[in-house]
Structures are given as C-alpha cells and as structure tokens.
Amino acid sequence: MQYVNGDFVTFVDGDDCLEPFAISTFINCYNKTHADLVIGEFTNIDEKSGKRDVRAIFDKSLTITHNAMQKMTEKTFFNKSLHGQRPVSIYAKIFKTDIIKNNNIAFTPKVKDFEDMYFNLEYYQYINSVSYVNKSVYDRLWNSESMVNQFRPNIYKEMNLSLKEYAKLRDKYDYNPEYEKYLAFHMITILLRNGIENNKDPKMSLKEKVNKFYRFIDREPLKDMWNYFTASDGDTFGTKSKVWAVKHRKLYEYYKLKNIAKRQKI
C-alpha cells in the first residue's frame, strides 16, 4: 500500500476482471456523493458452465450517511443469502487512499485466509458514508484451482494464526463479535476442503482427518456458530446433508458413504 499514489484504491484478483465501465461507475458515484466507500455488485462465473450469478446487497442504488459502518456490516454480515461474500470480499469496491494511509490500514502476512475481511473490518471503522451502486462491475471466476480450494499442509496452523489476529482486531475496535461467526462460517468451508476432502497426506486416515477437523472447530468463535446456521445454508458447503453431518458430528459417516457411492457409481 505504500506505493499507492492515487486518490482511490481498488483490488482485482489475478483470475478475475473488471467490467469496462467499472472505474467510471465508481468515480461518477463518488463525484455525486463523496462517500468514504463506494460498493458495486459482482457476478459469480462458474468456470465449467459459464453460468453467471449476481447477488445484490440492496434492491436499488443508495447512499448511507448515518451509522454507515454499523449498517453496512450488519446488512452484509447478517444477510445469509449473500453467504457472507460481500463482507469477506475486497473486490467491487473503491477505497479512499487517505483513509487507508492516515490510519495505517494494511494487510498482515499472519492472515492468509480472509485477509479481505480483515482489511474491510478495519477500514469500516473510519467511514462516515457509503454509496452502493446496484450494478455489477466485477466478474469473479469460481476457480477450482484457487488457493482456497487447494490442499495446504499447514492449513490448521495458518487458520490458528488468523484467529489470533482477528481477536487482536476485535480487542482494538470492540466490534460486534457476531461478525466472527461469518468468519467461522467461511473458515469451516475451507477446512472441509483442505483438511479433509483435498487432504493428500497418505499418513492420515479419513477418521484422523475428521477428528482433527473437529478438534480445531471446538473453540470460539467456531464452536457455537452451528447453532445459527441451518441445513438451508447447504449451498455454501456443497450439500445440505454435509451441513447436517458437520452439526451432528457425522462427517466420517458422510464421507465414508460418499466414497462408497462413488466407487460403486451409485
């Protein structure tokens, strides 16, 4: 961030792209509202089918000037239909450089997952107004080879470091601890993929992988978040039955049956 010279900053993942009109949409909105944060919508693109899926935060463009930080975090963090994507993501937004630099907002190497959410939570503490544009300005490719979908042997160690850094951030700003349930929600999706489904450690049995997963999530803020989510949230995890299996500690049986069905082509 020390190399940024412009008035605004936006972020683009390496396999995503901005719509041709994205920057002009952001700047035109800012020139009208002078908001501390401008947010657009994004389109999820399935890498296999090419299917495009847009989820909106609000049903129309608007500007929030009262309790902006609280309203934006609650609207995005507590909107289950968005699957937490908006608070986690750093894309489809423009940030003001002076707010970032004046408050020493930065990414930390200790947070390797959900560094977007970490940056957003800190930036949100210093905003007085937000403008929302009900228009998709960003194409997000769902990539099965992305970092969050690949096996990482140190995934539990990295997640533990991330949780510690988020605890420090919460102590610093005293933000609503309920937000961490959404961090937990997404952490668990990654742990299911990396710790169990894509875990290529030949020395670990399926039962050992499942037991390690449960030992890790038996802590705050991961421990109690399942009381809030229901089987209807299964879209994020892949299947509703997987949500049920995690909540009822039946993951071993779930994957065992799944593997049998795959071998027998059921």
The model's pLDDT over 211-241, given as tens digits with 9 standing for 90+, comes to 999 998 887 767 766 555 554 554 555 567 7
Which tops the pLDDT comparison, 29 or 166?
A: 29
Which range has the worst mean pLDDT, 21-30, 71-80, 109-118?
71-80
Tokens 């847009």 sit on residue: 54
What percent of the chain shows pLDDT beyond 90?
25
Q: What is the pLDDT of residue 23?
A: 96
Beta bridge partners of 131: 38, 63
Mean pLDDT of 238-258: 81
* Measured distance CA(111)–CA(27) in Å, rounded: 30
pLDDT band, residue 73 (cuts 50/70/90): low
Under a CB-based contact definition with an 8 Å cutoff, are residues 128 and 54 in contact?
no
Q: What is the pLDDT of residue 188?
A: 81
Q: Is the dihedral of CA 78, 82, 85, 86 positive or negative?
A: negative
Q: What is the pLDDT of residue 78?
A: 52
Q: Is the dihedral of CA 114, 182, 60, 15 positive or negative?
A: positive
Q: What is the pLDDT of residue 264?
A: 46
Which range has the worst mean pLDDT, 42-46, 48-52, 74-78, 118-122?
74-78
Q: What is the dihedral of CA 171, 91, 66, 107, to 10 degrees?
A: 30
* Measured distance CA(192)–CA(251) in Å, rounded: 10
pTM beyond 0.85: no
What letter would DSSP give residue 132? E
- In sequence order, the 6+-apart residues with CB closer than 8 A to the CB of 94 are 8, 9, 10, 26, 27, 30, 37, 38
In this predicted structure, the answer to whether residue 201 has a pLDDT above a threshold of 90 is no
H or E stretch at 159: helix 155-173
In this predicted structure, the answer to whether residue 95 has a pLDDT above a threshold of 80 is yes
Q: What is the pLDDT of residue 84?
A: 43
Q: What is the pLDDT of residue 19?
A: 93
What percent of the chain shows pLDDT beyond 70?
78
pLDDT band, residue 265 (cuts 50/70/90): very low
Q: What is the dihedral of CA 1, 78, 148, 170, to 10 degrees?
A: 50
In this predicted structure, the answer to whether residue 82 has a pLDDT above a threshold of 70 is no
Mean pLDDT over the full length of the chain: 81
Q: What is the pLDDT of residue 217?
A: 85
